[in-house]
């Protein structure tokens, strides 16, 4: 069995970084998740689509946990929560989705970090870790990411990792009820535009 297949089959899927670890969401995470999201609601609302009225409900959370685990078992999506190694505190989440096989061999990443944990380099660790898996074990060739033009923190994170600017996607997502343009980035496993820092 290849390493990639063994990762997909593991019920205890976990990726470790220097200061964090990533794993699939579980029902027991509900209280710490809802507390972090509520603390960070004003901060995150600038960058995320508007949420349904029942977004914070336990029933909606259960459905998302079920969806994340089903998508993972079908090798379609990795939606992982990010925890701090030192105390096991939930600090954010990251998703590798839109996995395309065949001629494309590509995927997209998205992420959020709770406001109390920004500007500490945690998300940089998580993004590097998930991309390493995507390139090395899942053998993807291209990873894409999109961010709002004014989200300088996210743009800097992507650029520092090695993502390259590709252009602007018009009316890409609805943010706070408005269709917003997004800056599009990509990182290639074999990138002639610059050295791939992930696989160094």
Residue 1 pLDDT? 41
pLDDT at 17: 95
DSSP bridge pairs for 84 = 20
List Cα–Cα distances, 77 to 70, 96, 105, 188, in angstroms.
Answer: 9, 6, 14, 19
pLDDT of residue 68: 94
pLDDT given for residue 194 in this prediction = 57
- Domain boundaries in the chain? 3-141
Helices (H), 56-188: 58-73, 122-132, 152-161
Tokens of 17: 């970084």
Pick the CATH number of 3-141 from 3.30.70.20, 1.10.1060.10, 3.40.640.10, 3.40.630.30: 3.40.630.30
Mean pLDDT by runs of 10 across the 200 residues of the chain is: 51 88 96 97 91 92 95 91 97 94 90 96 96 88 95 96 95 89 94 61
Measuring CA to CA, which residue among 90, 131, 91, 89 is closest to residue 110?
Answer: 131
Distance (Å, whole) CA 29 – CA 90: 8
Contact yes or no for 33/90 (Cβ under 8 A): yes
| Helix, strand, coil share (%) of the chain residues, nearest 5 | 35, 30, 35
Going from the C-alpha of 199 to that of each of 63, 122, 155, the distances in angstroms are 35, 19, 20
* Per-residue confidence (pLDDT) for residue 155, from 0 to 100: 97
Tokens of 95: 């998703």
């Amino acid at each position: 069995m290849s390493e990639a297949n063994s990762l997909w089959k593991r019920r205890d899927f976990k990726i470790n970084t220097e200061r964090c670890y990533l794993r699939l969401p579980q029902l027991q995470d509900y209280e710490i998740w809802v507390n972090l999201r509520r603390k960070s609601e004003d901060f995150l609302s600038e960058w995320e689509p508007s949420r349904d009225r029942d977004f914070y409900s336990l029933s909606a959370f259960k459905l998302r946990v079920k969806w994340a685990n089903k998508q993972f078992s079908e090798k379609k999506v990795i939606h992982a929560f990010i925890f701090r190694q030192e105390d096991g505190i939930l600090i954010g989440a990251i998703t590798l989705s839109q996995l395309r096989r065949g001629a494309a061999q590509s995927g997209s990443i998205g992420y959020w970090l709770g406001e109390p944990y920004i500007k500490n380099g945690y998300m940089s660790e998580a993004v590097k870790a998930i991309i390493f898996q995507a390139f090395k074990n899942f053998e993807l060739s291209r990873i894409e990411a999109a961010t709002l033009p004014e989200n300088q923190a996210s743009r800097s994170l992507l650029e520092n990792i090695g993502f390259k600017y590709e252009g602007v996607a018009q009316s890409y997502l609805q943010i706070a009820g408005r269709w917003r343009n997004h800056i599009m980035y990509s990182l290639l496993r074999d990138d002639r535009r610059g050295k791939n820092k992930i696989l160094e």
